[in-house]
Amino acid sequence: MITGPLDQVEAGARRRFHRFSARAWQRWVELGARPLAQALAAAGGWTDAEREALLAAAARLGAEAVGLGYLPVPLPGAEQGWAWHALGPLLAERLPRRPPREALGELAALWNFTEALENGPPWIRNLVSHFAPRLAPENPLAAFVREVDAALGEGGLVPLGEDPSAWSGAWAPLAPPPSDPLPGKVAFLAPRVVAVERRGTGQASFYWLTPRPVLLGPGPWSGRGLPQAPFPRLRGAEGWLLSQRAGPLHAEARTAHAWVGAPALSQRVLFAWREA
């Protein structure tokens, strides 16, 4: 791979972005640019000019992502996230197997989707990262986006019903150790996504219900404009709560398919659903 054009792109990005990270750029070159160049060199049906054009376009977007902070250098042991996946390994996996014009369109689609996620709530990025292994190189990105979107809805969930004795339950930590906040308000953001306030921190924990809860990580908490549970507290649930050793509740929320309670004196959150 010719390094001269990459050096020029890096120099231009340094002039545009005050906090351009040299470490993040070098990491992107190793994870994104270099594998893409090698895969293109082995791909048939491409001219040298077409290969250079795609590499140049990818380099400009890589530098833009580094400059905008979409590609921070991960901490040791931390997951690298969707942006590193989409603008790193996915470039070599997805672009060279397509015709040159379609490859440029695929590059643009990966960039547009990544930028939309970076400007959206962190829990959505984490959910997409959870599904990322399902994005096979030959599958359209649009179909993958539809799959993620469907995972937020009610499909496959069983109505909770009015009889708490039929519920299944599970406890989930509000935050990984050594953090020790107490759960606060609870709100469903989608049929399968619930936010639980971390009292006194300005943050919330976000969970994805499969129906069992999967912690999607922390994010900013804003009580304004959050949807309220459309169902009132269930009568007869006291016995079920007693069986779960939940104690008094600080807050709770319910949809037709799930119930979530924030006990007043626990650092865990209680979830209920009904098995099919």
Assign 80 to helix, strand or coil.
coil
Give mean pLDDT, residues 165-192: 89
CA distance 168 to 204: 24
Mean pLDDT of the region 151-161: 90
66-88 tens-digit pLDDT:
999 999 987 665 668 899 999 99
In residues, how long is the chain? Answer: 276
Provide the whole-model pTM: 0.88
Residues 150, 210: Cα–Cα separation, whole Å: 12
**Hey, is 70 helix, strand or coil?**
coil
Angle at which helices 34-42 and 48-68 cross, to 10°: 160
In this prediction, residue 1 has a pLDDT band, given cuts at 50, 70 and 90, of low
Q: Which residues pair with 260 in a beta bridge?
A: 253, 271
**What's the average model confidence in pLDDT over 207-231?**
80
The answer to whether 246 touches 270, Cβ cutoff 8 Å, is yes
Residue 96, classed as helix, strand or coil, is coil
pLDDT over threshold 60, residue 229: no
* Model pLDDT, residue 59: 97
The domain segmentation of the chain, as residue ranges, is: 3-150, 164-273
- Which tokens sit at 34? 């270099």
- What share of the chain has pLDDT > 90, as a percent? 73
Positions of E strands within the chain: 168-173, 183-190, 193-198, 203-209, 213-220, 249-254, 259-263, 268-273
Q: What is the C-alpha separation between 218 and 204, in angstroms, rounded?
A: 6
pLDDT of residue 34 exceeding 90: yes
Q: Kindly state the helix (H) or strand (E) to which residue 115 belongs, with its residue range.
A: helix 100-118
Cα–Cα distance measured from residue 105 to residue 123, given in angstroms and rounded to the nearest whole number: 27
Q: Residue 226 — pLDDT band, cuts 50, 70, 90?
A: low
The DSSP H or E segment spanning 62 is: helix 48-68
